[in-house]
Amino acid sequence: MHALLRPLLTALAVTIAACDSQGQLGQAELAPDCTANDDGCESGPLRPLAVGARQLLTVRPLQPDPGGQTSATHFVSANSDVAVIDDGGVLATGDGVTAILLVAADDSVLDFTHVAAASAVRLGLHPGSGDVATRALSGTVPVAPGATFTMTVAPHSDTQVLGGAFDIVVDSSNRTFSTVPTGDPAIFSFVAPSWGWTEIDVTALGLSAAVTLEVAP
């Protein structure tokens, strides 16, 4: 058995607020630390954080800031049962919704945004690169000799896709199925040998999922 440990960043695109999203008081843009691969970040669907996951926030002032307030700010969660501030980001601690406050050095609230969090009940292993709308894989999947098999890992709460940053451990029972770097911490690729099979076991957020790859001529 061999394992791959990766932090799931924002590739599965939970957005605390849509990219370039104005705070509730209109004083700043409070947005997730987006990457080009963030599904839905541009269009802005709101997805809750998986409990146990983390999301970084970025801040950009919208109003003139002669006093430099937004350069000396910090975040505060209004409800630590739902989320806390951890390492400069938001860590989901329980199901629910909380306000994340942008607080100035004098403890005044400059702006705020809302964060939803939900417990993941299953992991989905989705075929392809980043498309978590497809049906999750299960059972045995045939692959051609020498072909590359790619899957995307996504946590779900019932039918809702969750996201945030958390660790994923992927175990393959057969080392002859070599792994290929994808540049995306949520996407895993394996190159099939000329024959054989492997069981791919995935664990994250206290959940597990598995799929078997079998070389079919």
pLDDT band at 208 (very low <50, low <70, confident <90, very high): very high
Our CA angle for 101, 104, 106, nearest 5°, is 125
In a shared domain, residues 63 and 106 = yes
**Co-location of 178 and 88 in the same domain:** no
CATH number assigned to the domain comprising residue 42: 2.60.40.1380
Is 39 a residue whose pLDDT tops 50?
no
The 10 Å Cβ neighbour count of residue 87 is 9
56 lies in which domain range?
A: 13-118
Q: Which residues neighbour 68 within 8 Å (Cβ) at sequence distance 6 or greater?
A: none
Query: Are residues 114 and 17 both part of a single domain?
Result: yes
Give residue-wise pLDDT tens across range 144-192: 999 999 999 999 998 788 888 788 999 999 999 999 888 888 899 999 9
Q: Which of 36, 56, 37 is nearest to 164 (CA)?
A: 56
pLDDT at 43: 33
Where are any strands of DSSP class E within 33-177?
49-50, 54-61, 74-77, 83-86, 89-92, 96-103, 109-118, 122-127, 140-143, 148-157, 160-161, 166-172
Q: Are residues 97 and 138 in the same domain?
A: no
Which pTM value belongs to this model?
0.73
Q: Which of 69, 98, 118 is the last residue of a domain?
A: 118
What is the tally of structural domains in the chain?
A: 2
pLDDT > 70: percent of the chain: 72
Is residue 57 scored above 80 in pLDDT? no
Q: How far apart are CA 25 and CA 105, in angstroms?
A: 18
CATH number at residue 199: 2.60.40.1080
**And the tokens for 156?**
């779900």
Is 23 contained in some domain? yes
User: 77 in a domain, yes or no?
Assistant: yes
Q: Is 3 contained in some domain?
A: no
**What pLDDT score does 25 carry?**
56
Contact assessment for residue 90 and residue 80, using Cβ atoms and an 8 Å cutoff? no
Q: Does 205 share its domain with 114?
A: no
| The last residue of a domain, from among 55, 86, 118 | 118
**163 and 136 belong to one structural domain:** yes
The pLDDT tens digits of the residues spanning 93-143 come to 999 999 888 888 888 888 888 889 999 999 999 999 877 877 889 899 999
